[in-house]
Amino acid sequence: MSTSNTTELRVGVVGAGIMGADHVARLTGTIAGAHVSAIVEPDAARAAAAAQLAPAAKIFTRVQDALAADAVDAVVIATPGGFHEPVLLPVLEAGLPVLCEKPLTQDPESSWRVVEAEQKAGRKLIQVGFMRRFDPQYRQLRDLIASGRAGELLMLHGVHRNPSVPDGYTQPMLINDSVVHEFDVVSWLAGASITSVEVKYAKRNALSPAHLREPILVLMELDNGVLVDVEMNVSIQFGYQVATEAVFQRGVARIGQPEGLQLWQDTHFRLNEHTSYVTRFKQAYDIEVQDWADAARRGAIAGPSAWDGFKVAVACAAGVKALDTAGPVPVELPETPEFYAV
Ligand code: ISE
């Protein structure tokens, strides 16, 4: 940790795309007790744009160089998932705390290597960026489920709708990049593990990119008997919407409905919807990063662990297989290592 005259956490942000730049702005303008000391980004134009948001930050092209220069006390990884492992391993070796955007890595094998490296480092250093766990509405729903006030939870119906996706978004990304959030959050909400994943195809949206077959319906069985369905839709056009309905023995609860200013005008009723996850989950990201930075300064993590990331990687592998399989694909997890047992 820094011995300079500031006790602030010096954070290196790796990857300066949409999420990386958003985190640079957040760490600079919103988060207390931390600042961006380094931006690691091989694309010079992106690096320069992010540096405008944090002028004091040094620019590096490789995380190893930022570590060697002793420029950071902690790291936020916001590169595409395929680049997480090569950044995580040297950061773990340096013994620094890290907030790693989802997914932990792209497959169970590489996620396993990461949890092994973390165990070798001797303490939990990785928090995975499943930000929905920090969203106040998701937290209220989890408290309701845990309280038993509406009886036992029986089913969860989810919708995960994006207006559109970039050209590079591929069919497996429906699972690895999008449904990945549900794999984490439904287990967390229901306090249970996913035992199978099934994918059903809806009538194809002619407005979807030519290489995508969607929307899809993803069915998950949990080991406590709860059944989950999620509509995953990345060409819904009208806006960004993530919502859940929870069905209990004695009631129904909903989160994620459009909120804010209601306007009646010219015989129309209007309520604005989000256009992107950056605004829909802004509050969640703010809380997530503040809690992470506070915990990092105490030598701890404050959210989903690398083991949670590994479990989701296993569910994603089943989900990707389910894209081409009729019927449910089992999700089989090894025993939780002692290191991660709560
Ligand atoms: C994106 O990467 C996210 O993480 C968003 O939360 C999700 O809604 C979107 O589908 C993903 O592409």
Contact 130 CB / ligand 1 (< 6 Å): no
pLDDT tens across 218-262, in order? 999 999 999 999 999 999 999 999 999 999 999 999 999 999 999
- 189 and 297 housed in the same domain: no
Per the structure, the count of domains in the chain is 2
First to last CA, the chain: 27
Contact 181 CB / ligand 1 (< 6 Å): yes
Residue 171 CA, ligand 1 centroid: distance in Å? 14
What integer is the mean pLDDT of 265-281?
96
* Distance (Å, whole) CA 5 – CA 255: 45
pLDDT tens across 41-93, in order? 999 999 999 999 999 999 999 999 999 999 999 999 999 999 999 999 999 99
What percent of the chain has pLDDT above 90? 97
Residue 331 CA, ligand 1 centroid: distance in Å? 22
Asked if the model's pLDDT at residue 6 lies above 50, the reply is yes
* Distance (Å, whole) CA 283 – CA 278: 9
- 128 and 151 housed in the same domain: no
Q: What is the pLDDT of residue 2?
A: 45
Residue 281 CA, ligand 1 centroid: distance in Å? 11
Contact 307 CB / ligand 1 (< 6 Å): no
* Distance (Å, whole) CA 187 – CA 222: 8
Instruction: Give me Rg for the CA atoms of the chain.
Output: 20
Contact 184 CB / ligand 1 (< 6 Å): no
- 293 and 327 housed in the same domain: no
Residue nearest to atom 11 of ligand 1 (CA): 178
Confidence of residue 4 (pLDDT cuts 50, 70, 90): very low
What percent of the chain has pLDDT above 70? 98
- 61 and 150 housed in the same domain: no
Residue 2 lies in a domain: no
- 246 and 298 housed in the same domain: no
Q: What is the pLDDT of residue 342?
A: 72
- 178 and 156 housed in the same domain: yes
pTM of the model: 0.95
Residue 240 lies in a domain: yes
- 66 and 195 housed in the same domain: no
What integer is the mean pLDDT of 12-40?
97
- Cβ contacts of 29 within 8 Å, gap of 6 or more: none
Q: Quick one: which atom of ligand 1 is closest to the CA of 160? A: 8
Q: Find the domain containing 86 and state its range.
A: 9-132+283-305
Residue 284 CA, ligand 1 centroid: distance in Å? 14
